[in-house]
Amino acid sequence: MAGLQVLEETFANQGFHVLGFYSDDFGNQGGTEEQIEGCTGQYAVTFDQFATDHVIDTDGAGPIVPQPVWEWLSQQQLYSSPDWNFHKYLISRTGELVAYFPRSVYPGDDPANPNDSFDTNAVVVAIQAEIAK
């Protein structure tokens, strides 16, 4: 979560915002208001967070009715369904999906990678390109 908060703090004054969507679709990871409040307190999360039901059909039991944001995402040509938590989507100011990043891509300066730099991180570079438009 730290990387996402740094992105929010770094770029919020330029119109960029992080939105978190919690769902129970990924192995009982939470999604109730109480679970969101607990995570917010534990990790000092400052960006907006939302509880959602049914991001994707992870167990194949379907049918599911996705929340509107996920229904919209799935209709975009550039789309990758999240395979676990922390999948990231970059949406332009004009409402277009311009990039997505799987959970393996850290959003910012990855503390586990000594060769990573905030300024050259793929997520940061994509955000900066969109802000510059």
pLDDT in tens, 41-97: 776 677 777 666 655 555 666 666 667 887 788 888 876 777 666 788 899 999 899
List, in order, residues 6 or more apart from 104 with CB less than 8 Å away.
none
pLDDT in tens, 25-54: 555 555 566 776 776 677 667 777 766 665
CA-nearest of 99, 62, 101, 50 to 78 is 99
Go through the domains of the chain in sequence order and give each one's CATH number.
2-132 (3.40.30.10)
CB contact at 8 A, 98 and 105? no
pTM above 0.85, yes or no: no
